[in-house]
Amino acid sequence: MATAQPNSTPEARQDFYDRLKPQNLAPLWEVLRGLLPSEPKSKAAPHCWCYADARPLLMESGELLTAQEAERRVLVLENPALPGMSRATSTMYAGLQLIMPGETAPAHRHSPSALRFMLEGEAAFTAVGGERTTMRRGDFIITPSWAWHDHGNEGSDPCAWLDGLDLPLVAFFEAGFNEHYNDERQSIVRPEGDALARFGSNMLPFKPVSRYGLTTPIFNYPFEQTRAALVAAAKGEAPDPHEAVTLRYSNPIDGGWAMPTMAAWMTFVPAGFETAPIRSTDGIVMALGEGAMTAEIGDRSFDLDESDVAVSPGWTWRRYRARKDSFLFCFSDRVAQEKLGLWREERGPAS
């Protein structure tokens, strides 16, 4: 049977489209290729924020306003392809937060989950759910969704860290909530180190239950332990051609990712090692905790020094070359993509 051929002119089609608009209707065939591309193309761009350049501006912000005035004194890391959107990647927020000596960032809670990666200083603390922890360089600290938290600095030097939040994801679902505590600091009801003792020492309570729902009950993963584990792992097995030596932060209760919406891991690239190209659908925020390395991301090449932050957009080729033993902290929306069955990676040829 012959297929009927449409008998229309461009003018007739446009007239049809014009009559659809008042009914809040639109022709799918005009936008289908944009909705279903042959492969992902991130709106974000590869970029690097050099900490040596950002630090003077971060310190200047400490002279302009107090932590109480700002609530959180943070310089947002804006992806240059997403200006004004407070996004480092298409789905992840990142910023540099500063706490000056003697200050407290007031207690509050919010539905977005947050993480911290300590960049500078040794006397800062964060309190989560009635327990405080000292924040040291390279530590990975978690603020679970809807958990009370405040930060402070009881030392004599400024303290700074990288903030990561799933704000764009929460905003997409229109599920953002925020609430302020009734005092500047929350009440401390457990001794420091309680969570790590119960859940982070290769032992668990008989009936382990996270205090924070789907988020790990550990809210500080010390860099000292992470670094030692990576170095020991490198001695037992040759680095993976694409991932070097990589370990992910996990929830001790179920072995899954530490957070329900943000995956976090650390990669150890030994001096002189160069990884083969790899790409994945998650856009990655990375911060160099120790060492010196070059990150090739798409058609860009960035020489990273300690505390520099870079982003690799989703489905963009990336590879690393270490000039010194390098420890690279990373976070992304991989865990959320995995739960939705969307995450995918591709590995290029290894030399």
| pLDDT value, residue 109 | 95
User: pLDDT for 112-153, tens place per residue?
Assistant: 999 999 999 998 999 999 999 999 999 999 999 999 999 999
| Residues 329/285, Cβ–Cβ less than 8 Å | no
Name residue 200's beta-bridge partners: none
Q: Is residue 11 part of a domain?
A: no
Compute the distance between CA of residue 196 and CA of residue 221 in angstroms, rounded to an integer: 8
In this structure, what token pair is assigned to residue 310? 């870079």
Q: Is residue 129 part of a domain?
A: yes
User: pLDDT for 38-53, tens place per residue?
Assistant: 999 999 999 999 999 9
The residue-averaged pLDDT of 71-87 equals 96
User: pLDDT for 298-347, tens place per residue?
Assistant: 999 999 999 999 999 999 999 999 999 999 999 999 999 999 999 999 99
Q: Is residue 6 part of a domain?
A: no
Q: Helix, strand, coil % (nearest 5) of the chain?
A: 20, 35, 45
63: Cα separation from own chain's centroid: 28
In this structure, what token pair is assigned to residue 111? 């539905």
From the CB of residue 267, how many other CB atoms can be counted at a distance below 10 Å? 23
The dihedral region occupied by 110, where left means phi > 0, alpha psi between -120 and 50, and beta the remainder, is: beta
| pLDDT value, residue 2 | 59
| Residues 182/142, Cβ–Cβ less than 8 Å | no
Tell me the pTM.
0.95
Compute the distance between CA of residue 318 and CA of residue 254 in angstroms, rounded to an integer: 30
Q: Is residue 246 part of a domain?
A: yes
DSSP state of 238: P
In this structure, what token pair is assigned to residue 165? 């939040």
From the CB of residue 211, how many other CB atoms can be counted at a distance below 10 Å? 18
Q: Count how many domains the chain has.
A: 1
Q: Is residue 35 part of a domain?
A: no
CATH number reported for the structural domain that contains residue 168 in this entry: 2.60.120.10
DSSP letter string, 147-167: --EEEEE-SSS-EEEEEEE-H
| Residues 268/245, Cβ–Cβ less than 8 Å | yes
Compute the distance between CA of residue 243 and CA of residue 246 in angstroms, rounded to an integer: 6
Mean pLDDT (the chain, rounded): 95
E strand intervals along 154-259: 159-165, 178-180, 220-221, 245-248
| 24, amino acid identity | N
Closest to 54 in 3D by CA, of 106, 97, 4: 97
Q: Is residue 10 part of a domain?
A: no
Going by C-beta distance under 8 Å and a sequence separation of 6 or more, which residues neighbour residue 182? Answer: none
Is the pLDDT confidence value at 3 over 70? no
Sign of the alpha-carbon dihedral angle for 169, 171, 173, 175: positive
| Residues 162/287, Cβ–Cβ less than 8 Å | yes
| Residues 146/111, Cβ–Cβ less than 8 Å | yes
- Of the pLDDT bands very low, low, confident and very high (cuts 50, 70, 90), residue 31 is very high
Is the pLDDT confidence value at 231 over 70? yes
| Residues 72/97, Cβ–Cβ less than 8 Å | yes
Q: Is residue 8 part of a domain?
A: no
Going by C-beta distance under 8 Å and a sequence separation of 6 or more, which residues neighbour residue 280? Answer: 314, 315, 334, 343, 344, 345, 346
Q: Is residue 150 part of a domain?
A: yes
Q: Which domain holds residue 124?
A: 47-347
Name residue 115's beta-bridge partners: 142, 164
In total, the chain counts a number of residues equal to 351
| pLDDT value, residue 124 | 95
